[in-house]
Amino acid sequence: MSRIGWIRLAVLVALVALLEFLVRIGSIPYKTMLPPSEMTTALVRLLVAGTATRDIVQTLTCVAAALAASVVAGFGLGVAIHRFPRLRRALEPFFATYYAVPFFIFYPVLIAIFDLSLLPIILMGFAFAVIAMCIATINGLDRVPRVLGKVARMHRMDELETALRMKLPAAAPHLFTGLKLCVAYSFIGVIASEFILAPSGLGHAIAYAYNDFDNRTMYALMLFVMVVVITLNMLLHGWEQRLLKRWHGR
């Protein structure tokens, strides 16, 4: 690990130790927060006992579906919109205001249409993430050197092959921003939807534990969500850094 990495790890360990200390000495009431060591123990017990497995599997499945759909649709939409500058100019105000819309007000409507199934949850995650990917794709394509388009034509590539073999890899560093946002937004969309009105899933389990004053389960599940999201983002970040190093030679 690099020196910066060690410093980063030391800061994290220090913060966790401080939290543990503050809870242990009573500066933070025990009823409000568990010490991190107990959160970890509770999470391990929960995972070993398997009581949260169904909720975990459901949530991760919904997130994976929302993520995959938003990445594919966002990229496709971005390529299509980039292809037509007038359409792009017409849609730009919608993109600018998209994240000002409180999506969760539509959740009851989705339930009315699709019932209490997984589909409304996946759709919420998808709706939350897709435009981030679309905007990142458009920005990435803006930065693809024009000469690569000429190279594609020299190799007599059609539009699809040009998009997949030339534009996609050329825009990849920029697409990573979209991908990382998609991961975060998919988790937010799915877990928040489960939190509001779902019969199962991690969001539902956290809300249920909260209503039941079951801090141990609540914090254990929250810790699980944080570990998964941070691990995924760190993996993507590492991948992105390797790519950038290759791209820029540093």
Partner 1 sequence: MPELHAQLRGVTRVYPAVAGYRPVHALGPVDLDLRHGEFFSVVGPSGCGKSTLLEVLAGLQPPSEGTVTFEGKRVHGQVPDGVGVVFQEDASFPWLTVWDNAAFGLRRSGVDKAEIDRRVGDALAFMGLKDFQQAYPAQLSGGMRQRVCIARTLVLQPRLILLDEPFGALDAQTRLLMGDEVLRLWRRTGATILLITHALDEAAMLSDRVGVMSARPGRFLDLVETNWPKERDSTIVSESRFGEVTGRLWHHLRGESLKALGQSGVPVAERSGRAEA
**Interface pattern 26-65 for partner 1 (x via CB under 8 A):** ----------------------------------------
- In the set 118, 131, 170, 205, which binds partner 1 (CB under 8 A)? 170
Contact 130, 183 (CB under 8 A): no
Nearer to partner 1, 76 or 173 (CB): 173
* Residue 192 beta carbon to partner 1: minimum distance, rounded to whole angstroms: 36
The CA distance from 206 to 195, in Å, is 7
By C-beta, is 45 or 245 nearer to partner 1? 245
Q: Find how far residue 175's CA is from the centre of its chain.
A: 14
143 binds partner 1 (CB under 8 A): no
CB under 8 A, 24+ apart: contacts of 226-232 = 228/60, 229/183, 229/184, 229/187, 232/183
Nearest to partner 1 of 82, 167 (CB atom): 167
Examine residue 172 and tell whether it contacts partner 1 (CB under 8 A). yes
Min separation Cβ 182 and partner 1, Å: 21
153 binds partner 1 (CB under 8 A): yes
Torsion of CA 60, 63, 69, 75, to 10 degrees: -120
**Which of 54, 143, 150, 242 forms a contact with partner 1 (CB under 8 A)?**
150
- When the beta carbons of 171 and 220 are compared against partner 1, the nearer one is 171
Half-sphere exposure of 197 (CA within 13 A, CB side): 15
Q: Which long-range contacts (CB under 8 A, 24 or more apart) does 4-8 make?
A: none
Asked whether the beta carbons of 110 and 120 are under 8 A apart, the reply is yes
The answer to whether residue 246 forms part of the interface with partner 1 (CB under 8 A) is yes
The DSSP element (H or E) to which 157 belongs, if any, is none
Name the residue nearer to partner 1 (CB basis): 24 or 165: 165
The verdict on 147 binding partner 1 (CB under 8 A) reads yes
Residue closer to partner 1 by CB (options 108, 169) is 169
Residue nearer to partner 1 on the CB measure, 3 or 146? 146
Contact present, 203 and 59 (Cβ < 8 Å): yes
- In angstroms, the CA 171 to CA 154 distance is 20
Q: Which of 28, 11, 32, 31 is nearest to 20 (CA)?
A: 28
Q: Mark the segment that binds partner 1 (CB under 8 A) among 87-95, 122-130, 169-177, 189-197.
A: 169-177
Determine the interface stretch with partner 1 among 69-77, 116-124, 144-152, 198-206 (rule: CB under 8 A): 144-152
85 scored as a contact of partner 1 (CB under 8 A)? no
